[in-house]
Amino acid sequence: EIVLTQSPGTLSLSPGERVTLSCRASQSISKSYLAWYQQKPGQAPRLLVYGVSSRATGTPDRFSGSGSGTDFTLTISRLEPEDFAVYYCQQYGGSFTFGQGTKLEIK
Amino acid sequence: QVQLVQSGAEVRKPGASVTVSCRASGYTFTTYYVHWVRQAPGQGLEWLGRVDPSGGSIHYAQNFQGRVIMTRETSTTTVYMELSSLRSEDTAVYYCARERPDNCHFDYWGQGTLVTVSS
């Protein structure tokens, strides 16, 4: 099973700042099966990015995904107040696994 | 619009079983897989398995083999997840989520069902 490790665990930032979240896999992820989700308290996760870098319908263009092999990132170019949430990466390599999440909190 | 509507919260004693339902609407039921993902309080996301509503094929996560059963009812566009031999660690919010076959990500999610296991 592929283990995903996200870093950092928590980030304290201000609106308007740029942020890059990291997701590292224990082995190479094939066929670009890497996605990112946003989750707010009391809500289900929401798909943001799939196939490493494709934005889901409704995802603002300030969100961008990149990476390959074992190292992936989600960048938010300019934080908006509604972006403060928990972010999870997810992969498929025979089974589905998620990272433990990165929490973005307002500084 | 696409909707996945889940059944309500459940409370069970250790050793018991629970069944959660997920009714799909707004799309052709048989053209998307339905998965189950859970989230323990304050924790991350854990995949339990998926069912193909078209042919009924099922793929369970290894951690839940022998303890979970997923079924579908095409006449009501509903998928069911039964988890047995419950223990306190199974206390979690259980989500159903949709996947277009072979896309390997989840584009729509249900609202979640809290299952509490307590004596």
CA B91 centroid distance within chain = 14
Helix and strand tally (H, E) in chain A? Answer: 0, 11
Of B61, B103, B109, the CB nearest to A50: B103
d(CA B81, CA B115): 12
Task: Collect all residues of chain B within an 8 Å Cβ-Cβ radius of residue A59.
Answer: none
Contact call for B105 and A50, based on CB within 8 A = yes
Share of chain B above pLDDT 90, in %: 96
Q: Read off the tokens for A93.
A: 């390599």
How far apart are alpha carbons A13 and B117 in whole angstroms?
A: 37
Residues of chain B numbered 39-58 and touching chain A (CB < 8 Å): 44-47
Q: Which two tokens stand for residue A57?
A: 């319908």
CA-angle at A4, arms to A75 and A39, nearest 5°:
55
pLDDT tens digits, B74-104: 999 999 999 999 999 999 999 999 999 888 9
Q: What is the residue-level pLDDT of chain A in tens, covering all 107 positions?
A: 999 999 999 999 999 999 999 999 999 998 789 999 999 999 999 999 999 999 999 999 999 999 999 999 999 999 999 999 999 999 998 899 999 999 999 99
How would you write B68-116 as a 3-class SS string?
EEEEEEHHHCEEEEEECCCCHHHCEEEEEEEECCCCCCCCEECCCEEEE
Q: What is the pLDDT of residues A85-98, one digit of tens each?
A: 999 999 998 899 99
The 3-state DSSP class for residue A68 equals strand
Which residue(s) pair with B34 in the sheet?
B51, B98
Contact (CB<8Å) B104/A95: no
The answer on pLDDT for B33 being more than 90 is yes
